[in-house]
Structure 1
Amino acid sequence: MDLHDRLLVQLSTRDVYDARTLGGQPQSGLVFTGQAAHDAVRMVRRQGYAGPVLADRRRYAGSGRVSGTAGLSAHWIADQVEARVTIPLTDSGYIGRNDTRALRTILDQASRWDDVVAVLPLHADWLGPDLPALTAAIAGYGGPVALVAEDAASGARPEAFRLGLPLLSAGPEALGALAHGAPWAAVGVREVLRHLYPEHPPADGGWRRGGARSALVPERLAFVPVERLPEGPCPCAACHGRPLRRLAGAGELEVNTHNVTVLHRLHARMSRARHRRHWWDERLGAPPHHVEAAGDRVARPGVQAGGGAGLAGPEEP
């Protein structure tokens, strides 16, 4: 199964019964998340899902996150292969600020396997002042990698999409990664799967955890809390011209179906563009319509890559 130019949907294992619906768009695929992700892969394969499927153990997230120095598990790789993932992902721990030992540990151990993606969950500084060291390490490794970009303490997100490498746990910037040449990227179906939060975020960081629902407003490339959606109609195939605000009373599956439908509509438009980066830059520069405050916003033109003020923070409370 080819991962080329795929916009994947990243889900929890509890979403397994909705997975075929959410991953059914052309050029889509699935990323299951968590310790039992390989079991979810096995289940959708038994159900006949033929698209690309990955498994991200996500040991790098949360208050109990594991350091990248903890090492990689051969059993995790073997379980993924047995479950018939498209390509195995390492069960990497977190790579903290200036933690070159963690970065080297992951890359050195990942090199023991052929056709395995080394997952690099990065402190925001690795995509800012430490970017030269990161790119040199990746170039020296020579194998496939995927990035998970942590939000800065300010709520900003580094512009990891500009590196043209696969992204996990991303928001709309997954489209930017594809526009910059990434072979694939994954968008989370809910807020917690669209971000890697700092281990100790500030009290006023504004992060919406848990079951908060957000819908994608295409004019802004923004995931907006459903209670703050605009009145205007949505032309996507899931909404059929009905007001976007109706999603405030919809269930999570209906909201997520709207989200993946809009994302893949945008992806199809980008695929037809003569210059993908120009298309992406035009999307970033689109004037705001309807929404005054939104989360998961992408950076506006003029913000330099790695400058520390890239992608804005998550949905506002």
Structure 2
Amino acid sequence: MDLRDRLLVQVSVRDVYDAVTLAGHPGSGLVFTGQAGHDAVRMARRSGYDGPLLADRRRYAGSARVRGTARLSADWIADQVEAGATAPLTDSGYIGKGDHESLHATLEQAVQWDSVIAVLPVHPRWVAEDRPVLLRTIADYGTPVALVVEDGPPYRPLPLPLLSAGVPALAALAHGAEWAAIGVREVLRHLYPEPHEIRGGWRRGGARSAFVPERLEFVPVERLSDGTCDCSTCRGRPLRRLASAEEIEVNTHNAKVLHRLHNRLLRSTHRERWWRELTA
């Protein structure tokens, strides 16, 4: 099962019953997030889902995140293989600013397994000032990787797969990444610095955002304009109506419009130029 050119949908394990609805179109796939991610993969396989499936344990996030020098779990790798994951992801810790020890520790451990993808959750400096070092180190080890980039200033896209991303996932695909994953909700589209301030407070149903293609961004449903959407979920109705919709309907809209944009990217003859023109 090939991950090439896939725009995956990253969900939490509690989304397992809605996940196939969100990733049922060609060119998609799923990333289940959390300690029970491999169990969600197994459930999706048993339900008949035959698209790409990954499991991201996400030990690198939150106030209790572990450092990248932490030991990777062979059991976590084995559980993913047994569950039917397309490729196992390492349960990596966080790689902080200038933390070369963590970068090397993660990659040194990952190379011991065949077909394992080394997850590299990095401080934003690694994709800006330390970019040449990061790329050279990855090339030296030669193992497949997937980046998770902590929130920070905008950076030039890298030709490497992305997890827990928003719009930068499309930019990565346009610049040569094999695959990328966009989270269904804000917490899965970001790697927040720790400690971080929670903004906006709690809202019933969680903080829901709808993707607006004309703006190339996710907009909180309470701030949507009067524009309409012609995706098969919205059917020409105003986007503003999503403010009172269930989360699954908002996420289905997001999946449909992102899939359409992804198809346009795949059909372009020069992806980088297409992306530059789209974002100009």
TM-score class, shorter-chain normalisation, is over 0.9
Aligned residues of 1:149 and 1:158 also touching (Cα < 8 A): no
Residue in structure 1 matching 2:267, options 272, 276, 284:
272
Match of 1:295 in 2: none
Provide the rounded CA distance (Å) in 2 between the counterparts of 1:209 and 1:123: 27
Match of 1:64 in 2: 64
Give the structure-1-normalised TM-score: 0.85
Match of 1:20 in 2: 20
1:178 aligns with 2:173: yes
1:45 alignment partner AA: R
| CA drift at 1:278 | 1.1
2:147 alignment partner AA: L
User: CA-to-partner distance for each residue in 1:36-86, whole Å, 9 max, x for gaps?
Assistant: 000000001000000000000000000100111112000000000000100
Match of 1:129 in 2: 129
Alignment of 1:235-246 (within 5 A): 235-246=230-241
Provide the rounded CA distance (Å) in 2 between the counterparts of 1:59 and 1:190: 18
Alignment of 1:1-317 (within 5 A): 1-152=1-152, 156-159=153-156, 162-201=157-196, 203=197, 206=199, 211-285=206-280
**Partner secondary structure for residue 44 of structure 1:** helix
Match of 1:312 in 2: none
**Partner secondary structure for residue 147 of structure 2:** strand
Provide the rounded CA distance (Å) in 2 between the counterparts of 1:106 and 1:245: 44
Provide the rounded CA distance (Å) in 2 between the counterparts of 1:264 and 1:238: 13
| CA drift at 1:206 | 4.6
Higher deviation after alignment, 267-276 or 11-20: 267-276
Cα RMSD of the aligned pairs, angstroms, is 1.4
Give the structure-2-normalised TM-score: 0.96
Aligned residues of 1:151 and 1:158 also touching (Cα < 8 A): no
1:225 alignment partner AA: P
2:235 alignment partner AA: H
| CA drift at 1:158 | 3.4
| CA drift at 1:102 | 0.5
**Partner secondary structure for residue 125 of structure 1:** helix
**Partner secondary structure for residue 68 of structure 1:** coil
| CA drift at 1:157 | 4.2
Aligned residues of 1:95 and 1:103 also touching (Cα < 8 A): yes
**Partner secondary structure for residue 11 of structure 2:** strand
| CA drift at 1:207 | 7.3
Identity among equivalent positions (%) equals 67
**Partner secondary structure for residue 147 of structure 1:** strand
User: CA-to-partner distance for each residue in 1:188-237, whole Å, 9 max, x for gaps?
Assistant: 00000000000123x5x857788200000000110000000010110112
1:163 alignment partner AA: L
Aligned residues of 1:124 and 1:150 also touching (Cα < 8 A): yes
Provide the rounded CA distance (Å) in 2 between the counterparts of 1:50 and 1:128: 37
Change (3 A) 1:207 1:25: farther
| CA drift at 1:133 | 1.4
Change (3 A) 1:124 1:112: same
**Partner secondary structure for residue 31 of structure 2:** strand
| CA drift at 1:128 | 1.6
2:65 alignment partner AA: R
